[in-house]
Structure 1
Amino acid sequence: MKRRLAALLCTVALFASACGGTASPQGQAGGAGDTLIIGGPLEPRTLNPAVQSGMVTALPGAQLFASPIRYGKDFTPLPYLAKSWEFSADQLSLTLHLVSGATFHDGTPITSADVAFSLETVKKYHSFGTAMFGSVSSVETPDKETAVIKLSKPTPALLLSMSPALLPIIPKHVYGDGQDLAKHPRNVKDVVGSGPFKLKEFTAGNRIVLERNDSFFLQDRAKLKQLIVKFYPNSAATTTALEAGEIGMEISYDPVDAARLAKNSKLTVATSGYEAAGALNWLELNTKNQYLKDLKVRQAVAHAVDVDFIVNQLHSGIPEVAPGPIHPGSPFFSKDLVSYNHDTAKAAALLDEAGFPAKAGGTRFSLRIDYNPGNDVTGKNVAEAIASQLGKVGIKVEVRNAPDFATWSERVSKYDFDLTVDTVYNWGDPTIGVSRTYVCDNIKPGVVWVNMAQYCNPAVDQLFASAAQEMDVEKRKQLYRDVQRQITTDLPVVYIETQPIVNIYSKAYTGMPDGIWGAMAPLLEATGTQAG
């Protein structure tokens, strides 16, 4: 997908920065190292990534909280709060050696006890904490700068799980007060973090203002003095603000718009970043629905959905077709899947076999389709297209709008949905971001981006469990091949396309996030101030 997008940008753009390299700052009204405003259509419910997954929380969360390890442009782990680490010979113990002198924003020293507390918090509260840290049996703290993580089994995804968006180090003296961490008031106000920026303001419906932490433990600290995340009602409004110079950067999920903006001589459209995200746009099915609990009905839905139309007509052929639960760019992706070509006649026959013949007027039954709001191109437009396509086989579908992310997430996390269009991330390793959608024990009412389809197959659980501890790469690939084949057989999700994530920003900035986590990593090198 990145290669396809890069090729497109180089074709439509006649300036060098779209095809490689970073432009020099221009028109820096306030001087280097001043302010960056990032526009986004979604407002986070919490600023604490320990209790919430997703870009909306991870963007500010990675600035407010440091993690043991961080990543740059590839999958090589880099020191962060942990200056070094080593595994035991049997792979059942990981020792972290913390930097000296690191403090939380209130001046309290960061210790190994905070690392242990943070890991246990993520394990308990995060939507895929069990997938990441379920093998952690204990965290020993022999001294304040040493944390020894004991494992019940080898865990090949452990280091990646310690990225900023996945294992923020939160203060035990603040969050360990006995309150429910998922609803803790310090998740949204008076946040005491460990990262390169401090929370100055969080105004609901408006913006988040972060200011540089001048006591940050890294010698160079962050270059920006202030980082602002401003909320807009939708992606179109965000793009308008970027073109008008009201914001310096947007994170775009709209490949067609990204290609258009590449023609703007004042903007850089990045062609790298977010490789670890592995985002997929898909249609999730509530398998407890009275109709969708029947496999033949789910198969009929898959055959009725015209993925080719969505990818090539709605989205100009820029995304790739996503044939299964693992992103095609992952080393664990397999082509050996059960596929469902667009075939309305076959879909109708399956519905007949399932006992749902067409009634007078051609309707068999009715469903509702929701979508994650914020980007009409990959959300609302896809939902409307699917509703029309299902209507052709006798399934009457109502497109149900949500005024905001909170409304949508409340509905789907409590299973008040039939179908929903959503973008879900692989998070670098299938153990981290794929298994959470399908394993039986991750059906958690009220939690978004877990097993919302309420799908359960013990054979799939066992395959995921085996792959999670298999250190041999080729054996892991085989296990994940079997996972993908079984899930595409059972069909709790109809897979549509890869989801491009692109940073688009004013050329007044340099050092913008282009690593494997994109802006879900600390913005330490970003600098500049847009003109106007």
Structure 2
Amino acid sequence: MKHTFAAVVAAALAAGAAFAQDEPTSGGTLVMSLSGGTPRVLNPAVQSGIATGLPGTQLFASPLRYDEGWNPQPYLAKSWEVSDDGLQVTLHLQENATFHDGEPITSSDVAFSVDVIKEYHPFKSMFAPVTSVDTPDEHTAVLNLAHPHPALMLAMSGQLMAIIPEHIYGDGQDPKNHPRNNEDVVGSGPFKLVEFKPGEHVIVEKYDGYWEEGLPYLDRIVMRIINDSSARAIALQNGELMMAAFENEPTVIGRLQGVDGLTVSQDGYGGIGPIDWLAMNTTHGPLQDPKVRQAIALAIDKNFILKAIMRGTATEARTGIHPDSPLYNPDVPAYELDIDKANALLDEAGYPMENGERFELSIELPAFPGYRAQTEYIKQALTKVGITVNMNASPDFPSWAQTMGNMEFDLAMDSVYNWGDPVIGVNRTYMSSNIGKGVWSNTQGYSNARVDELLDMAATENDPDKRAALYKEFQEIVAEEVPIYFINAVPMHTIYSDKVGNPPVNGIWSTSSPLDKVYLKD
């Protein structure tokens, strides 16, 4: 059944006139913004990114959830076991779970979904160690591994492991371009698709056959695609929107923090793990020398970026692992501003100051919003140590991505996500095996044999303490060699009305997780 967008919004606003109670209540429509623009597809099994994550995790269920303490919780899998040697993970599925067309969700669908994700999802490392999936009965799936894979549990949560129906996607068509990715979607999650209008909205409604009794609370979610941040802010202020996530522009955050009836929260993004950094191409010119890279870090006043440019909305990041992660090492060098030390390092590296200049570098301005101020500041800051920086602005995202992927840059501001476990979103940036033109991973061309060894060991180490020690040493080495100057955790914020109960701020995936327990106060 389809509903017009205007009618849905009108009904939602009318229903939200006077909510007071805090006990969960059923019914109503949540009107919110959809971050990241129009999704390419609504199927997270074949697509990453936050634009797919919000609608995708309402339409498709994953085996697990994660709480704010980074602990796995039951979802489509009601329970699970991990073998002592770490080579088998057994999932016990909800016995009354069905797809949106009424067909039962079985272990065969889990096995099929793993195969699709392994072949078509951008994050190949998530399920690469899974050699096969046994299906001893309809509600038991046994994932067999070539070696222990501590990232697997996180990879089975959020938007990373969508369980898709084999009877729909197993028809021989390309899953990545399947016609049912955006229309007539048959999902496994708490909500089913009503309407997807690219550039306008995605509307989903409660699936009455959802296995959790009494859930979801909401009747409907309207996800409006509003690319302009000022327009989103106005819509939040006037009550047209009840919630927005992944808001990171300091002006918008500051504007809304003092608005009555709105809460602005930075909680719930640890799994996404977004970090802003200055990438340095270590393969040519002066940037081949770690002393030069250290000098650049020392010439940049991170506190100015955090306080003046980011207006206090962001927290410092010292490594490529997000500060919210239990694996983060805050004790690495901070590279506080020190112009004298920076100049001394550049002298030692063999780049003397001549007529106020040592050498020239280029810096790429990302083709996504919000990074011009940082880029222009870094350009200006490096002149104080004799480095002339020329700024290149890409006309669009594909052009910028090509420049980065082909390693045709010196310096570049970038924003990269951890995606839960370092194996998924961190290792890719530092492994020497990921150096290659046309591959947007280790675009710095960074190579260190000990780092490769540490990351290889950490990827198969199931003991939490031993694993943490491996990542601790990894972060220390990278901080010393500075292929990247880490600046801040991207200040992702969820902004929600007082009418919204149980907003997605108590986990690690924000709105890239099911909203089945969100409700409207009545």
Of 141, 144, 166, the residue aligned with 2:138 is 144
Q: Once the 2 structures are TM-superposed, how far is the Cα of residue 330 of structure 1 from its aligned partner?
A: 2.8
Amino acid at match of 1:50: A
Structure 1 unmatched ranges of 5 or more = 1-23
Q: Once the 2 structures are TM-superposed, how far is the Cα of residue 169 of structure 1 from its aligned partner?
A: 1.0
**Conserved 8 A contact 1:370-1:417:** no
Residue 438 in structure 1 maps to residue 433 in structure 2: no
**Conserved 8 A contact 2:363-2:375:** no
2:310 corresponds in structure 1 to: 315
Q: Once the 2 structures are TM-superposed, how far is the Cα of residue 307 of structure 1 from its aligned partner?
A: 1.2
Change (3 A) 1:485 1:125: farther
Q: Once the 2 structures are TM-superposed, how far is the Cα of residue 147 of structure 1 from its aligned partner?
A: 0.7
Q: For residues 244-293 of structure 1, give each alpha carbon's deviation from its aligned partner in whole angstroms, at most 9, with x where no partner exists.
A: 33322112224564354232112122363223333322122344465544
2:389 corresponds in structure 1 to: 396
Partner SS for 1:169: coil
2:221 corresponds in structure 1 to: 227
**Conserved 8 A contact 1:363-1:396:** no
Q: Once the 2 structures are TM-superposed, how far is the Cα of residue 177 of structure 1 from its aligned partner?
A: 4.5
- Name the TM-score, length of structure 1 as normaliser: 0.83
Which whole-Å CA distance do the structure 2 matches of 1:407 and 1:239 have between them? 30
Q: For structure 1, which segment, 489-498 or 405-414, has the greater mean C-alpha deviation from structure 2 after superposition?
A: 405-414
Change (3 A) 1:278 1:353: same
1:7 corresponds in structure 2 to: none
Which whole-Å CA distance do the structure 2 matches of 1:53 and 1:416 have between them? 25
Q: Once the 2 structures are TM-superposed, how far is the Cα of residue 83 of structure 1 from its aligned partner?
A: 1.6
**Conserved 8 A contact 1:25-1:508:** yes
Residue 205 in structure 1 maps to residue 196 in structure 2: no
Which whole-Å CA distance do the structure 2 matches of 1:72 and 1:160 have between them? 11
Q: Once the 2 structures are TM-superposed, how far is the Cα of residue 523 of structure 1 from its aligned partner?
A: 0.4
Q: For residues 102-125 of structure 1, give each alpha carbon's deviation from its aligned partner in whole angstroms, at most 9, with x where no partner exists.
A: 232334332212212222333344
Q: For residues 428-466 of structure 1, give each alpha carbon's deviation from its aligned partner in whole angstroms, at most 9, with x where no partner exists.
A: 333333213222344576665x33334333322221121
Q: Once the 2 structures are TM-superposed, how far is the Cα of residue 95 of structure 1 from its aligned partner?
A: 0.9
Partner SS for 1:96: strand
Amino acid at match of 1:311: L
Residue 155 in structure 1 maps to residue 149 in structure 2: yes
Paired residues for 1:27-176 under 5 Å: 27=18, 32-40=27-35, 42-130=37-125, 132-176=126-170
**Conserved 8 A contact 1:391-1:397:** no
Paired residues for 1:382-461 under 5 Å: 382-392=374-384, 393-400=386-393, 408-409=400-401, 412-413=404-405, 415=407, 417-443=409-435, 450-461=441-452
Q: For residues 181-239 of structure 1, give each alpha carbon's deviation from its aligned partner in whole angstroms, at most 9, with x where no partner exists.
A: 44445444443322122233333333222233233232223222322322233433322
1:373 corresponds in structure 2 to: 368
Q: Once the 2 structures are TM-superposed, how far is the Cα of residue 146 of structure 1 from its aligned partner?
A: 1.2
Which whole-Å CA distance do the structure 2 matches of 1:154 and 1:515 have between them? 29
Partner SS for 1:120: helix
Partner SS for 1:520: coil
Which whole-Å CA distance do the structure 2 matches of 1:290 and 1:180 have between them? 44
Residue 511 in structure 1 maps to residue 502 in structure 2: yes
Partner SS for 2:62: coil
- Name the TM-score, length of structure 2 as normaliser: 0.84
Which whole-Å CA distance do the structure 1 matches of 2:256 and 2:60 have between them? 32
2:3 corresponds in structure 1 to: none
Partner SS for 2:132: strand
Which whole-Å CA distance do the structure 2 matches of 1:407 and 1:189 have between them? 30
Matched residue count? 499
Which whole-Å CA distance do the structure 2 matches of 1:180 and 1:454 have between them? 33
Residue 269 in structure 1 maps to residue 264 in structure 2: yes
Change (3 A) 1:527 1:417: farther
1:10 corresponds in structure 2 to: none
Q: Once the 2 structures are TM-superposed, how far is the Cα of residue 418 of structure 1 from its aligned partner?
A: 4.2
Partner SS for 1:191: coil
**Conserved 8 A contact 1:439-1:461:** yes
Q: Once the 2 structures are TM-superposed, how far is the Cα of residue 161 of structure 1 from its aligned partner?
A: 1.8
Q: For residues 140-169 of structure 1, give each alpha carbon's deviation from its aligned partner in whole angstroms, at most 9, with x where no partner exists.
A: 112222110112333333222210221111
Which whole-Å CA distance do the structure 2 matches of 1:293 and 1:204 have between them? 44
Which whole-Å CA distance do the structure 2 matches of 1:421 and 1:154 have between them? 35
Amino acid at match of 1:116: A
2:210 corresponds in structure 1 to: 216
Which whole-Å CA distance do the structure 2 matches of 1:336 and 1:195 have between them? 41
Partner SS for 1:60: helix
Which whole-Å CA distance do the structure 1 matches of 2:451 and 2:198 have between them? 41
Which whole-Å CA distance do the structure 2 matches of 1:71 and 1:316 have between them? 31
Q: Once the 2 structures are TM-superposed, how far is the Cα of residue 68 of structure 1 from its aligned partner?
A: 0.7
Of 274, 279, 282, the residue aligned with 2:274 is 279
Partner SS for 1:337: coil
Change (3 A) 1:239 1:488: same
2:10 corresponds in structure 1 to: none
Q: Percent identity?
A: 43
Q: For residues 454-498 of structure 1, give each alpha carbon's deviation from its aligned partner in whole angstroms, at most 9, with x where no partner exists.
A: 433332222112122223322222111111112223322210012
Change (3 A) 1:70 1:117: same
Which whole-Å CA distance do the structure 2 matches of 1:181 and 1:219 have between them? 31
